[in-house]
Structure 1
Amino acid sequence: MKRLRSSPERAAAATLWLALATAVAGAAEPATGASDGPMPDAAALYATHCAACHGETRLGGQGPALLPVSLGRLKPADIARTIANGRAATQMPAFADSLDKGEIAALAAFVGKPPAVTPAWTEADIRASRILHPAPAATEPVFDADPLNLFVVVEAGDHHVSILDGDRFTTLARFPSRYALHGGPKFTPDGRFVFFGSRDGWISKYDLWTLTTVAEVRAGINMRNIALSADGRWIAAANYLPGTLVLLSAETLEPVRIFEAGDARKAPSRVSAVYQAPDRNSFIAALKDVPEIWEIATDPAAAPVFTGLVHNYEKGMAEALPASAGLFALRRIAVEEPVDDFFFDRGYRHLLGAARDGGRALVVNLNVGRTVATVPMPGMPHLGAGIGFTWQERRVIAAPHLSEGRISIIDTADWSVVKTIETAGPGFFLRSHEDTPYIWADAMMSKASDGMQIIDKRTLEVVRVLKPAPGKIAAHTEFDRSGRHALVSVWDADGALVVYDAATLEERTRLPMRKPVGKYNVFNKIRFSEGTSH
């Protein structure tokens, strides 16, 4: 974090970041209290040691933003530990020898507090941030692997992405990523391009045929996730900071529309999440701080098809959306409470959404624009990681809970909970595939985090527990395009991808990886496999 003067030094600092405390477990712990003598000037320390990489206003530059909303739940002691000891397997240096304990503590406290002025990120800022990379022309992939059976693997241990051949399980490319990629990259309908979104607001466009990054843009300061329209033309970025929904051209990454997030009465909000609704030719977004869901047309012909009824706040009734609304028409749907994340039924007629700290989920009929049912779901439901499948000739949704060891199975015909599967502990991800009889569920939020639970979709019972690496977290399964193999992540700095035969549940091979937090199969993603999330 010291000021870097030469070009090589600046290049080496391009990936500076503050890491989670767990990434430096066991390292020496500096004192976080001030040393004897005058109180260090934290702002001056930041200007001297941090601003060159992280920006004078802490919004980021070559390094990520250093703001509370970007640092998440890190405490000053966690931040101080990383400043003092650096970060293994990255270019974050250690400062224990150049800064005393009081200075380190002052810096940690400084970056952990909100700035005096709320930072902004305007359309001009977005345009100025855009980076175009020279890319080779190609009419076909530069490799002989199946381009639709590739896996994109996000390795958080050293902030890289690997491109994996899903037939041979060999690595075709590996490249550095932006800080803290969100777990859901998005693919163009033909599978050629993939878009990554980082918590720091960066969107990167990568050509899977030539194995090169072709463009980047910063759409916000703290971004929750991104979505790609059904026709592959538009990208939506959901921002916490500033509270905006940004629409960009998928071809050029230029901004085309910015929505200031808030309800019809102008109460501001963060944007919780945005997903594509392909059957509706629209984006669906949830607002974190106000009870409202948005639908935005991604095709001029889609606006009238909303059939929709837009909520009229003054009259308390609904009114038809004007047929002339056209591309990016915004439709507001009032709900009883804010929604954090959500899942769709087949056909995208209904949205099942919930707040993480709530005890229920709302069923919103998107055609009529109102809540039509509620589902009891205590224990912080994680609907964004849900899956859909057919059970006993019923279409159901399965969703894990983040604070309770259970999986809720919900019938989408009457929105009743038909089964609660008790698990070894709270989990985060569910995955399956059309051609497998099993659901793979982790318990990564519990003491049993090293176990992957195999659930029979016919009986809805746990039939086996796999332990890819005893004592290490097992999480996030993804299948190859055929459903014959299931890949499980060992979430560790010295982690791995473990490849299982999806029928026999026997291990086939494993590939060393640096904390592979997620992996995504091109074919399953572009065809919206029933066993994967959006």
Structure 2
Amino acid sequence: MRLASVLATGFALLAPLAVQAAEPDAARLYTETCAACHGGDRLGAIGPALLPQNLGRLKPAEAKEIILHGRPATQMPGFADQLSEADAEALAAYIFAVPESMPQWGMAEIAASHVLHADPAALPDRPTHASDLMNLFAVVESGDHHVTILDGDRFEPIDRFRSRFALHGGIKYSPDGRFAYMASRDGWVSVYDMWTLQMVAEVRAGINTRNIAVSGDGKWVAVGNMVPASVVILNARDLSPHTVIPVIGDKGAESRVSAVYAAPPRGSFIVALKDLPEVWEIPYVTPKKPYYPGLVHNYEPGMVEALDVRDQAFQVRRIKLDDYLDDFFFDQGYENLMGAARNGRNGQVVNLIVGRKIADIPLSGMPHLGSGITFDWNGRRVMASPNLKENKISVIDMTTWQTVKELETLGPGFFMRSHEKAPYAFADVFFGPNKDAVHVIDKTTLEIVETLRLEPGKTVAHAEFTEDGRHVLLSVMEDDGALIVLDAATLEEVKRLPMRRPVGKYNVANKIRYEEGTSH
């Protein structure tokens, strides 16, 4: 009995240790499962940063489900075949835990990271190559982290250079088309001279960056950051930092930046916020009037780093709304923005002149308004948007804000493109088993007239047109991928160029002229 009693006592003492030993090692699971995409320090890489202030409206229980089953319309896969429920729960708790030291990235850190590769004042005043400067493309090849500069007349590369890791697809240009601006997910912003084919400057403007925009006067670059929650204003000439604007709402609430856009007719940047039901407008020129009528206007000394408070440029105009707007689309005059949150509810139309919502839009699912296009149809200006969650394309009348048609597609899509001089719009089916399909839509009849399968079984997406609208380029988004050049009217293949996962390509003229068929 004595031995049995001792053994029983021993097992009782060891039992908690056994349970403790069986608990998931969240740090190890993170390193093995998450670090490759989200960074070993949780500060983001290909995927976003996984820090409490970066997770916004997401709840731990929802994070657990995403870990197990993935997230629609993103590159986030599910790990239910590798992780148990307890593993996923432990990982969710881990990413919501506040790190011992929170990352800091303000004016001092940005300035210290600045790299000047060439003296902007010493750059030649004429191009060093004979290609048509307006018909160049910058092609982001994420397979090996390079950018190719493509001649859009001959469809031949004229330069190829290494980019920063996880470069965002949305390359922007200076208003004259000379300089290309690009941003990586980990905050590096680069400026490249399209005339002399050389890198000019780089700076790390954030820890986890969403995108950039170039002002209509060519003087400024705005950087939208997820971590830290900020908009950073850089001098476009050499990327030296000018202003850091923390994104803070009422009662000190921070918000990640979903996207930042330039609105040249307004002389301002427009900021989409992920965690505040607001739209921000940041003028880059001093407004004629210091306040906009009928608006909540917020500017406090100390809110903005390194800014002379007497300068009314870069003051923050806050337009408060009754719902979140993660994704924007603008009319050609930048008077109205159409926005939708990633919550499956109706979209909103916000008039930027009066600073308030003027209409709801019947948009279900997850419309990708940032990839929408506009065109004339039956004497009316309409916009068309793919959907990241539902198998459809919505066509909206931009006067009545009503849906004029919904086209059924073979799956959710990511990109849609056209050109004022082209008869067709092209929409991919990025998500699902039909990822190799590209729908061709007649802009007169609003019908899908053909479905192309240019590379069966592989993802084909992101159409982009040449300056004259005669040719359209499509990406085979695989490591052994390609650019496929089609005649935009006959749909016949003209050329195919091998590429390493070309995730995006951007024509100079179409971008700087804000062509109606491309994203802005």
Per the shorter chain, which TM-score range? 0.7 to 0.9
Find 2:104's aligned residue among 113, 120, 131: 120
Find 1:412's aligned residue among 398, 401, 407: 398
Q: 1:66 Cα shift?
A: 9.5
**In percent, how many aligned pairs have the same letter?**
52
Question: 1:386 aligned to 2:368?
Answer: no
Following the alignment from structure 2 to structure 1, what is the Cα–Cα distance between the partners of residues 469 and 291?
35
Q: Which residue of 1 aligns with 2:181?
A: 195
The one-letter amino acid paired with 1:476 is: H
Following the alignment from structure 1 to structure 2, what is the Cα–Cα distance between the partners of residues 179 and 365?
38
Q: Which residue of 2 aligns with 1:309?
A: 294
Q: Which residue of 2 aligns with 1:249?
A: 235
Check whether the contact 2:257–2:272 (CA below 8 A) recurs between aligned residues. yes
SS at match of 1:161: strand
TM-score, structure 1 as length reference: 0.78
Cα deviation 1:136-195 (Å, max 9, x = unaligned): 732222111101100100011111100000000111111111111112111001101000
Cα deviation 1:284-330 (Å, max 9, x = unaligned): 00211111111111112x353985432279xxxxxxxxxx8721122
Check whether the contact 1:151–1:164 (CA below 8 A) recurs between aligned residues. yes
Q: 1:491 Cα shift?
A: 0.7
Following the alignment from structure 1 to structure 2, what is the Cα–Cα distance between the partners of residues 371 and 132?
43
Q: 1:357 Cα shift?
A: 2.1
Do the aligned partners of residues 308 and 282 (structure 1) sit closer, same or farther apart at CA in structure 2, a change above 3 Å counting? farther
Residues 40-79 of structure 1 mapped to structure 2, 5 A cutoff: 67-68=49-50
RMSD, aligned CA:
3.1
The one-letter amino acid paired with 2:344 is: G
Following the alignment from structure 1 to structure 2, what is the Cα–Cα distance between the partners of residues 219 and 157?
24
TM-score, structure 2 as length reference: 0.80
Q: 1:498 Cα shift?
A: 0.2
Check whether the contact 2:201–2:239 (CA below 8 A) recurs between aligned residues. yes
SS at match of 1:167: coil
Following the alignment from structure 1 to structure 2, what is the Cα–Cα distance between the partners of residues 458 and 256?
47
Q: Which residue of 2 aligns with 1:7?
A: none
Check whether the contact 1:132–1:215 (CA below 8 A) recurs between aligned residues. yes
Check whether the contact 1:381–1:400 (CA below 8 A) recurs between aligned residues. yes
Find 2:215's aligned residue among 229, 233, 236: 229
Check whether the contact 1:232–1:250 (CA below 8 A) recurs between aligned residues. yes
Question: 1:517 aligned to 2:499?
Answer: no
Q: Which residue of 1 aligns with 2:134?
A: 148
Q: 1:58 Cα shift?
A: 6.6
Residues 153-192 of structure 1 mapped to structure 2, 5 A cutoff: 153-192=139-178
The unaligned stretches of length 5 or more in structure 2 are: 1-20, 71-86, 299-309
Do the aligned partners of residues 109 and 142 (structure 1) sit closer, same or farther apart at CA in structure 2, a change above 3 Å counting? farther
Question: 1:458 aligned to 2:458?
Answer: no
The one-letter amino acid paired with 2:467 is: R
Check whether the contact 2:117–2:199 (CA below 8 A) recurs between aligned residues. yes
Q: Which residue of 2 aligns with 1:350?
A: 336
SS at match of 2:504: strand
Check whether the contact 1:308–1:366 (CA below 8 A) recurs between aligned residues. no
Find 1:365's aligned residue among 351, 363, 369: 351
Following the alignment from structure 2 to structure 1, what is the Cα–Cα distance between the partners of residues 517 and 297?
37
Residues 202-351 of structure 1 mapped to structure 2, 5 A cutoff: 202-300=188-286, 302=287, 304=289, 308-311=293-296, 326-351=312-337
Do the aligned partners of residues 65 and 272 (structure 1) sit closer, same or farther apart at CA in structure 2, a change above 3 Å counting? closer
Q: 1:486 Cα shift?
A: 0.3
Following the alignment from structure 2 to structure 1, what is the Cα–Cα distance between the partners of residues 288 and 444?
40
Check whether the contact 1:121–1:242 (CA below 8 A) recurs between aligned residues. yes
Cα deviation 1:421-479 (Å, max 9, x = unaligned): 11111000000001001110000112111011000000000000111201101100000
Q: 1:344 Cα shift?
A: 0.6
Q: Which residue of 2 aligns with 1:85?
A: none
Q: 1:266 Cα shift?
A: 2.6
Do the aligned partners of residues 454 and 193 (structure 1) sit closer, same or farther apart at CA in structure 2, a change above 3 Å counting? same
Q: 1:41 Cα shift?
A: 12
Following the alignment from structure 1 to structure 2, what is the Cα–Cα distance between the partners of residues 303 and 121?
33
Do the aligned partners of residues 66 and 307 (structure 1) sit closer, same or farther apart at CA in structure 2, a change above 3 Å counting? closer
Following the alignment from structure 1 to structure 2, what is the Cα–Cα distance between the partners of residues 344 and 59?
31
SS at match of 1:384: helix
The unaligned stretches of length 5 or more in structure 1 are: 1-35, 79-104, 314-323
The one-letter amino acid paired with 2:296 is: H
Cα deviation 1:45-103 (Å, max 9, x = unaligned): 99xxx9xxx89x6759xx9999536999996999xxxxxxxxxxxxxxxxxxxxxxxxx
Following the alignment from structure 2 to structure 1, what is the Cα–Cα distance between the partners of residues 386 and 290?
33
SS at match of 1:525: helix
SS at match of 1:465: strand
Q: 1:238 Cα shift?
A: 0.7
Check whether the contact 2:26–2:91 (CA below 8 A) recurs between aligned residues. no
Following the alignment from structure 2 to structure 1, what is the Cα–Cα distance between the partners of residues 343 and 232?
27
Check whether the contact 2:48–2:208 (CA below 8 A) recurs between aligned residues. no
Following the alignment from structure 2 to structure 1, what is the Cα–Cα distance between the partners of residues 69 and 184?
25
The one-letter amino acid paired with 2:295 is: V
Q: Which residue of 2 aligns with 1:133?
A: 117
Q: Which residue of 2 aligns with 1:102?
A: none
SS at match of 2:111: helix
Q: 1:118 Cα shift?
A: 2.6
The one-letter amino acid paired with 2:112 is: A
Check whether the contact 2:384–2:396 (CA below 8 A) recurs between aligned residues. yes
Instruction: Give the paired residue count.
Output: 450
Residues 382-531 of structure 1 mapped to structure 2, 5 A cutoff: 382-531=368-517
Following the alignment from structure 2 to structure 1, what is the Cα–Cα distance between the partners of residues 348 and 159?
42
Following the alignment from structure 2 to structure 1, what is the Cα–Cα distance between the partners of residues 213 and 248?
19
Check whether the contact 2:386–2:413 (CA below 8 A) recurs between aligned residues. yes
Check whether the contact 2:332–2:516 (CA below 8 A) recurs between aligned residues. no
Do the aligned partners of residues 40 and 331 (structure 1) sit closer, same or farther apart at CA in structure 2, a change above 3 Å counting? closer
The one-letter amino acid paired with 2:401 is: W
Q: Which residue of 2 aligns with 1:83?
A: none
SS at match of 2:313: coil
Following the alignment from structure 2 to structure 1, what is the Cα–Cα distance between the partners of residues 49 and 424?
42
SS at match of 2:134: coil
Following the alignment from structure 1 to structure 2, what is the Cα–Cα distance between the partners of residues 502 and 438?
7
